[in-house]
């Protein structure tokens, strides 16, 4: 469909003069507005633009709108800055021609208002000035004007200034559309990734589980999981994929899916928990190392098989931060690595170890995003601070998680997280 190139009607012009919303439809030539109500010019086209002429001189306004309408643009006018700002608050324009010397509110004041408004600051502004008023032109440019138009008006100069400013507007629109599409894609990725985390942690008599997961970016390379194994056992997993962002998030989904899929096949009610855990981690390691060798991606991982009746925890720590075993007597064990990170090289050796959780004791597993959290001075949260927090009884797994989370967030303050943060607490209550 060809765009409507008509100028505004007399009625629309009158509405534009009085700043009424009726003169400013929600769409122009069927084109949508962006997220802040600003019309988006299609990139790579010379489609008509909507231009606001702000000048207290009626003769100047009439001359400019006639010439702009001959170029196919839609126009509206305002005789002072206050009217112009009211019109901009109720409608959308692609370009503003702004006179400097006006009553009530001059062009500089209008420009300051525009540049302070996130919804309007990217609308290009051409300042109208006398031919010899270099000082005013310099001030306007310093305040954020994109160009200037000298009086008396020259048709060719007017056309060149308008064309250049609209080209800048189209480029900005294209960048904003692309940025918004990326935002939407990242939101979708975050929603999908959330599906790889447990919707709720298992609830079992005598046991209490809680977790904290906070990506440093929209998506994360960390993950945690807990799922039932036949024979009265519970698998607990926490991992940290190298790097950050989208690449790490893709491999996070792969690692987690491999653990779940292999766990269903390899973890049996009558088998040896240690041997089965080593084989599971070994198979994950070999698949990543052989199939995705060129990606050079790996993960540190803690995998534990917990006997819900006896409290025995058989685990493989593949290069991960040592989880803590804490209870009424404080921290009594650190579960050191029993093998290398997963996915670096094929056929690596993984060993299993075991520990028994007594009544009131808890497993506190975490990624280095917790201890490496830093404040504005660069000071790390640190291992010692974490040990202090888990030494005193917390009453429940959730209380322990909230205590650590509050302390880490208070330490970081307004400093953005550098790394993903994941914490998993498994507490024996009886």
- Give the C-alpha separation, 389 to 411, whole Å: 13
Neighbours of 392 (CB within 10 A): 11
Per-residue pLDDT of the chain (430 residues; tens, 9 = 90+): 333 333 443 334 434 433 333 333 333 344 444 443 445 555 445 678 999 999 999 999 999 999 999 999 999 999 999 999 999 998 889 999 999 888 889 999 999 999 999 889 889 999 998 766 788 888 988 998 989 898 889 899 999 999 999 988 888 888 888 888 877 877 777 787 777 889 899 999 999 999 999 988 878 889 999 999 988 999 999 999 998 878 888 999 999 999 999 999 999 999 999 999 999 999 999 999 999 999 999 999 999 999 999 999 999 999 999 999 999 999 999 999 999 999 999 999 999 999 999 999 999 999 999 999 999 999 999 999 999 999 988 889 999 999 999 999 999 999 988 899 999 999 999 8
DSSP code of 204?
B
Phi, psi of 419 (to 5 degrees): -135, 160
Given its phi and psi angles, is residue 378 left (phi above 0), alpha (psi -120 to 50 degrees) or beta?
left
Packed helices 397-412 and 383-391: angle between N→C axes, nearest 10 degrees: 150
Are 302 and 365 in contact, with CB atoms under 8 Å apart? yes
**pTM (2 d.p.):** 0.67
- Give the C-alpha separation, 388 to 212, whole Å: 18
Q: How does 39-65 read in b/e, with b if 16+ C-beta sit within 10 Å?
A: bbbeeeeebbbbbbbbbbeeebbebbb
- Token pair 């024996």 is found at 428
Looking at residue 86, its pLDDT comes to: 93
The CATH architecture assigned to 195-428 reads 4-Layer Sandwich (3.60)
Q: For the sheet containing 353-356, what is the strand order?
A: 222-229, 233-241, 299-307, 312-318, 353-356
Domain covering 10-187, topology: Rossmann fold (3.40.50)
Looking at residue 131, its pLDDT comes to: 63
Looking at residue 297, its pLDDT comes to: 95
- Give the C-alpha separation, 296 to 287, whole Å: 13
Looking at residue 181, its pLDDT comes to: 80
Are 280 and 266 in contact, with CB atoms under 8 Å apart? yes
What does the DSSP assignment read for 24-49? S-S-BTTBPB-TTS-B-PPTT-----
Domain locations along the chain: 10-187, 195-428
Neighbours of 348 (CB within 10 A): 18
């Amino acid at each position: 469909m060809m765009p409507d190139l008509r100028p505004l009607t007399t009625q629309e012009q009158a509405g534009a003069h009085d700043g009424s919303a009726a003169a400013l439809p929600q769409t122009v030539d069927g084109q949508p507005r962006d997220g802040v109500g600003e019309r988006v010019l299609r990139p790579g086209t010379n489609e008509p633009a909507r231009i606001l002429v702000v000048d207290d001189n009626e003769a100047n306004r009439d001359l400019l709108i006639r010439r702009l309408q001959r170029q196919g643009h839609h126009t509206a006018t305002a005789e002072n800055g206050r009217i112009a700002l009211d019109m901009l608050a109720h409608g959308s324009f692609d370009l503003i021609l702004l006179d400097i010397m006006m009553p009530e509110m001059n062009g500089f004041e209008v420009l300051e208002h525009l540049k302070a408004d996130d919804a309007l600051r990217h609308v290009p502004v051409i300042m109208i000035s006398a031919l010899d008023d270099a000082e005013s032109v310099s001030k306007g440019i310093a305040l954020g004007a994109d160009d200037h138009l000298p009086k008396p008006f020259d048709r060719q100069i007017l056309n060149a200034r308008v064309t250049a400013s609209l080209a800048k507007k189209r480029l900005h629109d294209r960048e904003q559309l692309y940025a918004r599409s990326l935002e939407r894609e990242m939101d979708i990725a975050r929603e999908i990734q959330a599906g790889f985390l447990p919707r709720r942690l298992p609830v079992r008599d005598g046991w209490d589980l809680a977790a904290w997961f906070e990506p440093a970016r929209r998506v994360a390379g960390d993950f945690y999981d807990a799922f039932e194994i036949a024979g009265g056992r519970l698998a607990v997993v926490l991992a940290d994929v190298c790097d950050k962002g989208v690449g790490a998030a893709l491999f996070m989904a792969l690692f987690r899916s491999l653990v779940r899929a292999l766990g269903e096949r390899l973890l049996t009610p009558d088998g040896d928990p240690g041997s089965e855990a080593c084989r599971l981690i070994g198979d994950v390691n070999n698949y990543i190392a052989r199939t995705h060798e060129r990606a050079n991606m790996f993960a540190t991982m803690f995998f534990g098989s917990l006997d819900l009746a006896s409290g025995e925890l058989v685990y493989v720590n593949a290069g991960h931060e040592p989880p803590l075993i804490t209870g009424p007597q404080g921290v009594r064990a650190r579960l050191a690595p029993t093998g290398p990170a997963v996915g670096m090289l094929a056929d690596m050796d993984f060993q299993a170890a075991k520990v028994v959780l007594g009544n009131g004791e808890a497993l506190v597993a975490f990624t280095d995003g917790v201890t490496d959290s830093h404040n504005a001075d660069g000071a790390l949260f640190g291992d010692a601070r974490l040990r202090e927090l888990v030494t005193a009884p917390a009453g429940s797994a959730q209380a322990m998680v909230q205590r650590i989370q509050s302390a880490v967030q208070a330490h970081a303050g307004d400093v953005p997280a550098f790394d993903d943060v994941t914490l998993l607490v498994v507490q024996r209550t009886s």
